[in-house]
Structure 1
Amino acid sequence: MELLRRRLLTAAPGHCTDVLIHAGPGAGKTLGSLHAFLQLRQGQKLSGICICCHRSSISNQWHSAAKKLGLDLGEGQMGPHGLIVSYQAAGRDPKHWQQLLQSRWPLQQWLVVADEVHHLGLNPQQPEEGGWGKSFEELSDGVKLRLGLTGTPFRADQLQFCSSRQKLLTIEGVPQRVITPDLVVTPQELISSGDVRPLRFHFQDGWIEYENSDRSALSTEHRESWRARNLRQAVRLGDSSSIALQVLLQARRRREALQQQQPGAAGLVVARDITHARGIAGLLEEQGDRVVLVHSQDPSAAEALKNFQNGEGEWLVSVDMCAEGFDAPRLRVVAYLTTVTTRSRFLQAITRAVRLDGSRSALEPMPRHPSYVHAPADPLLMAYASNWSLSFPYLLAEASVEEACIEQASGSGDWRLEQRAIADAAGAVIELKGPQLPRFLAS
């Protein structure tokens, strides 16, 4: 609140002010933003609020939170205090939405919030290129204040995004363009304050066998092409000795044990594709578990997610449907069985299990009871797990990065045919615990 007030006071008349906040899941970004708007509105600094987000389920959460605070926001249309609009709708006709804002109050009386703002990429090499970032800039051009919220302040393509400012820092002697948020609340801080759960990781190691009799250890393979092939094999559903099935069985046992501690505790399985997800759901159902399966091609997916949040099912098996913004405090176990290994996607998936509701907060000691992540022992995933609760500078791509990638892709190299993985076998489990807490909290 004070950050926004200071920015408004120091803003040049008629200019738009950008604020970027990076705060992990459970930090209260939604309610905090709405509370700040209410106070600024009461102080006659602002009149209306426009929330932009990328999923209907997230729009519903904003609408529900606003209603609890007495704010009436229209979904896709103007309400008494403002509106909520999707990035998709804004992208179709940004000028229409800007005119809609202006028809209610002057643009300089509006706060525009970009939820999960890292989706709004801006490519300085192709400024004319369309996309959500460009349409958001058009929609919000001329407003008083733009607030970017993110729990994942980075992109795999290293592009800049809206509501962010660049700085030039020297990192290990090399000048780097970085984005630094105006306010950072790390998961480690939230864990220490008891606002979210810590995570404990269990990585299933094993061997991948190839058709020429080569063997590769999953956890120690750092040749990128081999690492990727290993993971593709490791997430396949095989017999009881396979890596994927061991991950699933361990996650299932973990959820059953947590039922004694938290009745209704549930698990999330992140699957590779729809066929893979159906296979996983079938295996769990064979064991008598109740499963909710969601994927982007299912028109009833949003309703299924809502039912799961309300207590239906013991397992949620998902294909790219339960990332940022999905709020289900009953989730205590995540089985990560997909070949997607970007840091952002991994962190978005595992942090679905860090939230806890008010009723559990009153019952649990400090630090909170942990949630658990089970996954194949892929070196990249283990590296992400070792520092998931920390915040790092977001390095922007240099202008030559794209050209370099093209040259590498088309240049000379090892042209031997890719070997085919034919089997895998589970080995030991590698355990990683969460961040070290202060002694007075850990005792």
Structure 2
Amino acid sequence: MLRGWQQECAQRVEQKFTYDEAHFFLQATPGSGKTFLAAEVAKRLHQNRQIDLVLCFAPSKEVCNGITATFSKHLGCSFDGGLGTLGKCLTYQAIQFLPESFWQTLSRYRVFVVFDEIHHCSTGSVQANMWGQMIMRRVQSLASYTLAMSGTPWRSDELPIALAKYTNPEGELVVDYQYGLKQAVADGVCRIPKIVLIDNQVESRSQNEGVKQFSSLQQMLKETKHPYRSVVEEPTALKHLLKLACVKLAGIRQQSLNAGGLVVASSVAHANKIAHLLASEFGQSVCVVNYQKERPHQQIESFRHNKLQWIVSVGMISEGTDIPRLQVCCHVSTVRTELYFRQVLGRILRVNQAPNQEAWLYTFAERRLIEYAQRVQDDLPESCSVVTIEPQKAALSDIALIDCEHQSAEALPPQTTETDSLLHNELTPRGSNLSFDTLSFGHFHHRVIKVFQSSGALT
């Protein structure tokens, strides 16, 4: 059954395609059901005898698997490109390796092409990636109809997105339909996110600068040479963040028995140490997925349906991966772009049938992450606004910054254990300034950003 926004958007697509306009751009918040909408559009076009085949592109194999399952179920046939199927899903990376015979076949049929997370494809510059160039040069002219979708329609390198239109001279993105997080929360489609920003009064010891004290992580990172990595890999800080997240997940699992948590790590070594901490220090069940593991997609699929408490990932579950039981997330990656932050947050927003529908993201109070958290309720950044639909401006009162209760009770003890020292040595890269510069953490404190908190925020 279609949700209200999906029904409205499908009608908009049909209307636009009826008037000989072959391309549609959809921006819909992560977790809102873009793939199901695309499958419905494909079904209608096929039933109306407007297309012969459907071709989908996505940023990863994991996302392709999800699209294949959704299209197969909704279209009532397999979707693997075999004989008798309506189409298949390929990764963007595969575009450059497709044989000439593929493009010849495409030219002989009426093809509906769906581009999931189209922001992965850049164009309009010598710096444009191969995928964007191939889409503009080969796919766009051969496809009968195209649907481009994105939950986060902008790029960190600020290059234009393939198949996107921009206003001139403002350079603002033009979309045909927008379904933002604010509306998705109001409709009960997405969970209300709560973002916990963890801070500390830090003491830095350096051979060159001696002992310095800082009132916050932000001040320490600004006034010293310590990189952000030194925070996310520091055992005491990491243990505190994980402890808060484990306590929260345990509370949620009292109502929703199979609720799970995701930790987004900065490296394979970092992920392994986090998994060790979760298991040994907090008694959690955990699995690790990364590109070095055998069959990581099978591990993700297994976690999707089992009752393990945590999955620790390095670049494998950042966008498009549908695991509705995820409700707690720890962002401890050194990647700090707004695009990545929102993609990670999107992993815990999808509503399911569980009794408890809380969504919590834990991270450190670094300057950029604070800014991103405070802008979550804005569906697009200032440089990327909707033109065809008037964007709704959220009031500042919609964000409540609230000190968490029982901070001292939840803080970790200040003493350093043997395990802490061993973990610190294992996490410190050779040649890093951490070999002679050290950080000491005092009293942890944190605040929660509750998006859409005020009563009038959803009107």
Q: Could you say which TM-score interval applies, normalised by the shorter chain? A: 0.7 to 0.9
CA distance in 2 between partners of 1:378 and 1:275 (Å): 22
Cross-structure match for 1:304: 299
CA distance in 1 between partners of 2:170 and 2:437 (Å): 40
Asked if the contact 1:270–1:319 (Cα under 8 Å) also holds between the matched residues in 2, the reply is: yes
Paired residue for 2:315, among 314, 317, 320?
A: 320
TM-score normalised to structure 1 length: 0.82
SS at match of 1:329: coil
- Deviation of residue 343 (structure 1)? 0.4
SS at match of 1:233: helix
* 2:103 equivalent to 1:98: yes
Q: Deviations over 1:255-274 (max 9, x none)?
A: 11111121111111111101
1:40-439 pair list within 5 angstroms: 40-75=45-80, 79-93=84-98, 95-103=100-108, 105=109, 109-122=110-123, 124-126=124-126, 131-137=130-136, 138-168=138-168, 176-206=170-200, 207=202, 209-211=204-206, 212=209, 213-221=211-219, 226=224, 229=226, 231-238=228-235, 242-286=236-280, 287-357=282-352, 359-360=353-354, 363=355, 369-392=357-380, 395=383, 421-426=437-442, 427-436=444-453, 438=455
- Deviation of residue 393 (structure 1)? 5.0
SS at match of 2:321: coil
CA distance in 1 between partners of 2:81 and 2:47 (Å): 25
CA distance in 1 between partners of 2:216 and 2:26 (Å): 37
Q: Deviations over 1:252-308 (max 9, x none)?
A: 111111111211111111111011111010111113211110111212211110110
Unaligned runs of 5+ in 2: 1-9, 385-432
CA distance in 2 between partners of 1:74 and 1:225 (Å): 55
CA distance in 2 between partners of 1:45 and 1:334 (Å): 43
Amino acid of the structure 2 residue aligned with 1:134: Q
Amino acid of the structure 2 residue aligned with 1:157: D
- The 1:163/1:437 distance shift into structure 2, 3 A limit, reads farther
- Deviation of residue 73 (structure 1)? 4.9
- Deviation of residue 130 (structure 1)? 5.3
Asked if the contact 1:22–1:183 (Cα under 8 Å) also holds between the matched residues in 2, the reply is: yes
Which deviates more, 59-68 or 182-191? Answer: 59-68
Asked if the contact 1:53–1:87 (Cα under 8 Å) also holds between the matched residues in 2, the reply is: yes
- Deviation of residue 356 (structure 1)? 2.0
Amino acid of the structure 1 residue aligned with 2:19: T
- The 1:125/1:56 distance shift into structure 2, 3 A limit, reads closer
Which deviates more, 378-387 or 69-78? Answer: 69-78
Unaligned runs of 5+ in 1: 169-174, 397-417
Cross-structure match for 1:405: none
Cross-structure match for 2:393: none
Aligned residues: 395
Percent identical residues: 23
SS at match of 1:85: strand
Q: Deviations over 1:182-224 (max 9, x none)?
A: 1111111111111111111111101251412233444543976
- The 1:225/1:39 distance shift into structure 2, 3 A limit, reads farther
Q: Deviations over 1:347-381 (max 9, x none)?
A: 11122111122x23xx56xxxx3211111111211
Which deviates more, 69-78 or 335-344? Answer: 69-78
